[in-house]
Amino acid sequence: MLSIIVAIANNNVIGKDNKLIWHLPEDLKRFKRLTTGHTIIMGKNTFKSLGRVLPNRKHVVLCNDAILDIEDENVEVLSDISLLDKYIKSEEENFIIGGASIYKLLMPYAEKMYITKINKDFEGDAFFPEISEKEWQVVSKEPGLKDEQNPYDYEYVNYIRK
Ligand SMILES: NC(=O)c1ccc[n+]([C@@H]2O[C@H](COP(=O)([O-])OP(=O)(O)OC[C@H]3O[C@@H](n4cnc5c(N)ncnc54)[C@H](OP(=O)(O)O)[C@@H]3O)[C@@H](O)[C@H]2O)c1
């Protein structure tokens, strides 16, 4: 099965200039906790923005560029999305980690969403698609820890497909 994990600003912005805009170490810790040991699926830009292969996770990178030169046993490069079928059908939870184009492409196949909603507008150039209330149901909401290192009002909102 596929689950989406994403942090979204109030105005649906998720990034700018191929970077995250905010710094929320608590959210990054949660990302690590939820995704460790699982497969993470992403677009080429998001893979580049990570800057490294994240430990203890298999990376599936969608890319049309056959010459994307990555030699790492934990990275699989796919140019054909039909090859994601095994991840969609598997019993295991596989995480879609972005970016904008991949959320849009794979949202129809996701069963769950782990969304960090930041209660602030940001200027950006990458956006999360609209969440349809007809298709998605909120199953939990939990406020995020706000402190000097995490200086925003934010909450963790989990959804399942209706
Ligand atoms: N807030 C968050 O939680 C979060 C999480 C992740 C990313 N982001 C942000 O999102 C932004 C990046 O999003 P993005 O849309 O620009 O990039 P992206 O989705 O990470 O990657 C786009 C690339 O993926 C490849 N791709 C897309 N669809 C494909 C398909 N059907 N088949 C094969 N390859 C495909 C293409 O590579 P080719 O160039 O080879 O065609 C495309 O250029 C950044 O600002 C990043 O910081 C935010």
Write out pLDDT tens, residues 100-159. 999 999 999 999 999 999 999 999 999 999 999 999 999 999 999 999 999 999 999 999
Task: Kindly report the CATH number that applies to the domain delimited by 2-161.
Answer: 3.40.430.10
- Cα four-point dihedral sign 152, 130, 122, 2: positive
What per-residue confidence (pLDDT) applies to 43?
Answer: 96
Write out pLDDT tens, residues 23-33. 999 999 999 99
For a mutational test of ligand 1's pocket, the pick from 8, 19, 46, i.e. the residue with the most ligand atoms closer than 8 A to its C-beta, is 46
Write out pLDDT tens, residues 42-55. 999 999 999 999 99
Compute the distance from residue 137 Cα to the ligand 1 centre, in Å.
26
* Whole-angstrom distance, CA of residue 159 vs CA of residue 101: 20
Q: Is the pTM of this model over 0.95?
A: yes
* Whole-angstrom distance, CA of residue 82 vs CA of residue 79: 9
* Whole-angstrom distance, CA of residue 6 vs CA of residue 4: 7
Listed by start position, the domains of the chain span 2-161
Helix, strand and coil content of the chain, in percent to the nearest 5, comes to 25, 35, 40
Cα 110 → chain centroid: 11
For a mutational test of ligand 1's pocket, the pick from 101, 107, 118, i.e. the residue with the most ligand atoms closer than 8 A to its C-beta, is 101
Write out pLDDT tens, residues 57-91. 999 999 997 656 678 899 999 999 999 999 999 99
Instruction: Write the residue with the smallest CA distance to atom 36 of ligand 1.
Output: 63
